[in-house]
Copies of this chain bind each other. A is one copy, B any other.
C-alpha cells in the first residue's frame, strides 16, 4: 500500500499545527520557566499529529479547502487536549519516557534534584507538582485554542460553544472513566487478569483513545459543513468512522508496544512487557496458555527486572499464543466497520486521505 499522499498531508499538517501553536497568545502566560518548558516539551518532540489531522481531513471532506483552513485552531486545540492528557497519564503511570525524551514529572524531578538541590523525596514531589500544573495549563490552552477558532478565524460562535461543551463534558468524562478503569486494571496482578474479559479491555481503549478520535472527526465534520446539527447524517458518518479508527489505532499501538522498533517508538522495547500493561494481547495469551506457559508469562510480565532474554521469550510466547493475531483481528474489524461510513461522503482528495488514514491505522509501524 502506498501511503505517500497521506504522509505528505500529515507532514504538512504538523507544520501548520506547529505554526498555530507558535503564534498563540496564550504562551504569554506560561510562567515561570519550568512551566513554560514543560508545557512545550511534548509539543516540540516528533509526533504524528494524527488527531488534528483527522479533524482537518474531516473539515475538508465536508467543506473543502477554505473550511479546512478555518479549522486550524480547533485542530490545534485537539492536539493540545491530547497533550495534557498525556502529561497527567504519564504521571499516573509513573512512566519516565515519552516521544524519546523524559516525561514532564521525570524531567522536573531531575531539575529539582540537580538545580534546586532538593532531597530525592522532595524532588519527586516537585516533579509531580509541575506535571499536574503543566497538564492543567495545557488543558486551558486547548480550550482557548477553540475560542480562537471563533474569535480569530471566524468559526460560528454557537458551534464553537457546542464543541467546547461537548469536549468538556462527554469527551472528558469518558476519557477519565477510561483512565480510571486503566488504573483499576493496574491494581490487579496479572494472574487475576482473566476475570476482566476482552470486551472490557477494548471498551477501556475506546474510552481512553477512541472517544477523542471520534471527537476530532465530529468537530471537523461540523466545522466543514458549518452546521450545529450533531445528528446530521454526514456528521454522524464521519464521527463513527473516526471513533472506530481510533480504537483500531490503540489496538495497533498495543501490538507495536510488543513487536515495534525502539528507535521508532521512542521507548525501550519490552517496556510494555516489563510494566505488565494490560492488553488484549496479554489477555488472549493467558487465556490460551497451558500451566507451564502461564507460569512463564506471569514470571516476566510486570517484572521490571526482566532480562532482555526473558522479554524476547515472552514476546515469542505472546505471539505463539495468538495474542498478536487476535489483537490484529480486532483492529481489522474496527477498520472494516469504519470504512463503509465513508460511502455516502462525496469523493474528494480529503475523502481519499481519510480512507488512506484508516488503512494506515493497521499498517503503521510508529
Contacts and interface: CB of A to CB of B under 8 A. Distances in A.
Interface of A: 25-26, 28-32, 34-35, 88, 91-92, 94, 112, 116, 118, 122, 125-126, 128-130, 132-133, 135-137, 139-141, 143-144, 147-148, 150-151, 157-158, 160-162, 164-165, 167-170, 172-174, 176-177, 179-181, 183, 187
A132 B137 CA distance: 13
Contact of A162 (B112, B151, B164): B151
B162 A29 contact: no
Given A161-B157, A173-B28, A129 B168 contact: no
B129 A147 contact: no
A136 B35 contact: no
Question: 4 closest pairs, A vs B, by CB?
Answer: A29-B173, A140-B168, A147-B165, A157-B157
Contacts of A180: 31-32, 34-35, 129-130, 133
A21 to B, nearest CB: 14
A151 B158 contact: yes
B187 A118 contact: yes
A177 B168 CA distance: 23
A129 B183 contact: yes
Q: How many copies does the complex hold?
A: 2
A179 B148 CA distance: 26
B136 A88 contact: yes
Nearest to A34: B180
15 contacts: A32-B177, A32-B180, A35-B180, A92-B128, A92-B133, A126-B183, A126-B187, A133-B176, A133-B180, A136-B176, A137-B176, A139-B140, A143-B143, A144-B165, A157-B160
| Main DSSP-derived SS at the A contact region | helix
Contacts of A164: 143-144, 147, 164
A161 B147 contact: yes
A35 B176 contact: yes
Contacts of A94: 125
Contact of A141 (B28, B160, B169): B169
A30 B176 CA distance: 9
B136 A26 contact: no
A29 B173 CA distance: 5
Contacts of A28: 169, 173
Contacts of A112: 187
Given A126-B183, A126-B187, A180-B130, A173 B88 contact: no
Nearest to A147: B165
A187 B136 contact: no
Nearest to A173: B29
Given A88-B132, A147-B165, A150-B161, 7 more contacts: A32-B177, A35-B177, A92-B133, A128-B128, A144-B164, A144-B165, A151-B165
